[in-house]
C-alpha cells in the first residue's frame, strides 16, 4: 500500500497520476477487506477458544474414564 502511494507521488504526468491513483484506491480497498476479515476473526476468537477448551476437557474426561476402566479390569 505504501509503495502504491509512493508511485502516485512520483508520477510525472496527469495520465500517470490518474492510473496510479486508481491502483492505489484498489490497493486500499483490498487492505480494508483484509482488515475487516481480521477484525471479524479476532471478534470470534473468544468463542473459538471456548469451544476448543470444552473439546479438550471432554477428551480428558473420556481418557480418564477409559484408564480407570482399564485399571479396574486389571485389578
Residue with cell 477428551: 59
pTM: 0.59
Q: Which residues of 14-36 are buried (b: 16+ CB within 10 A; e: fewer)?
A: eeebeebeeebeebeeeeeeeee
- pLDDT tens-digit readout, 3-48: 777 777 787 788 888 888 888 899 999 999 999 999 999 999 999 9
* Longest alpha-carbon distance in the chain: 89
Amino acid at each position: 500500500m505504501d509503495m502504491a502511494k509512493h508511485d502516485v507521488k512520483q508520477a510525472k504526468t496527469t495520465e500517470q497520476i490518474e492510473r496510479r491513483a486508481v491502483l492505489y484506491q484498489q490497493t486500499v480497498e483490498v487492505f480494508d477487506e483484509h482488515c475487516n476479515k481480521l477484525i471479524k476473526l479476532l471478534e470470534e476468537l473468544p468463542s473459538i477458544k471456548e469451544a476448543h477448551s470444552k473439546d479438550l476437557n471432554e477428551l480428558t474426561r473420556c481418557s480418564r474414564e477409559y484408564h480407570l476402566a482399564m485399571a479396574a479390569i486389571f485389578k
